[in-house]
Amino acid sequence: MAFWSCVCGLLGVVVLVAQPVAKPGAAAPVKAVGGVEMTDAAGDIEPIVYRESVGDGPEKEVKYPGFDVLKLTVTSDGTTLNFAAMLKTPPASAAFDVLEFYVDADNSRATGITPPASSAALAGLEFYGTLEVCLEHDLFGTRCAGTDERPKGHSAIVSLEKYGKEWMFKDTLLDLPASGSVKEAKAVKIAGPLVQASVPYAAMGVKPGQTIRLVVREACAAKMAGFFPDIILTLK
């Protein structure tokens, strides 16, 4: 069951104490102008699992600590939408998603797509995105998948996909590495437990003053869990 209480409002950012809910739309939406901040209790995540092999041996599942989000912040500045997650511990050896988010760009469930067997909260979607932790390598540069026991550093990106006429068809708009029509996502260096990166308004076709609906999920939570209350956000 979700719980939140309004703490304060500062510079247009609504600050909430929130517990992610099991399913999207299970709590009343939060309305905000410019930005919103929510906190989450620790310990509600699962490990990151990669299949790895040593030498010529068979592959086996190797588990790494999941990214435990303690605070979610979404802000807008007139040209970009920024997603920030404060983690319990800094990223270490594994690249993976920190947040998943769905965008209803016109705040209307009557337009866009609705994935099958989903709740009404996932109706009317135009975009799907992720906030990802990536690993820095001397030879391979920035890689947003895989593991490294001693990475050179960590970076974050926001990837973005646009839904087609059917939910299973999506066109990638932003990612790393860029390829073909896919534009390069801007990598932001990670220092400590704060993971953040931005998506340009232009990539989503939105404008200042427009109201969008965001459905955000803690990516390392159990399947179909870890959803924050829906965010009805009027962009700066």
- What's the CA gap between 3 and 44, in Å, rounded? 15
Q: What is the 3-state secondary structure (H, E, C) of the chain?
A: CCCEEEEEEECCEEEEEECCECCCCCCCCEEEECEEEEECCCCCCCCEEEEECCCCCCCEEEEECCCCEEEEEEEECCCEEEEEEEECCCCCCECEEEEEEEEECCCCCCCCECCCCCCHHHCCECEEEEEEEEEEECCCEEECCCECCCCCEEEEEEEEEEECCCCCCEEEEEECCCECCEEECCCEECCCCEEEEEEEHHHHCCCCCCEEEEEEEECCCCCCCCECCCEEEECC
pLDDT digits (tens, 9 = 90+) for 161-177: 999 988 788 999 999 99
Is the model's pLDDT at 18 over the cut of 70? no
| 10-19, 66-75, 79-88, 109-118: range with lowest mean pLDDT | 10-19
pLDDT digits (tens, 9 = 90+) for 204-221: 999 999 999 999 999 999
**Bond into 115 cis (ω within 30):** no
pLDDT digits (tens, 9 = 90+) for 79-130: 999 999 999 999 999 999 999 999 999 999 999 998 876 667 789 999 999 9
pLDDT of amino acid 180: 93
Alpha-carbon Rg for the chain in angstroms: 18
pLDDT of amino acid 164: 92
pLDDT of amino acid 165: 85
Supply 157's token pair. Answer: 């990106």
Whole-prediction pTM: 0.89
pLDDT of amino acid 215: 95
In this structure, are residues 135 and 151 in contact, taking their beta carbons and an 8 Å threshold? yes
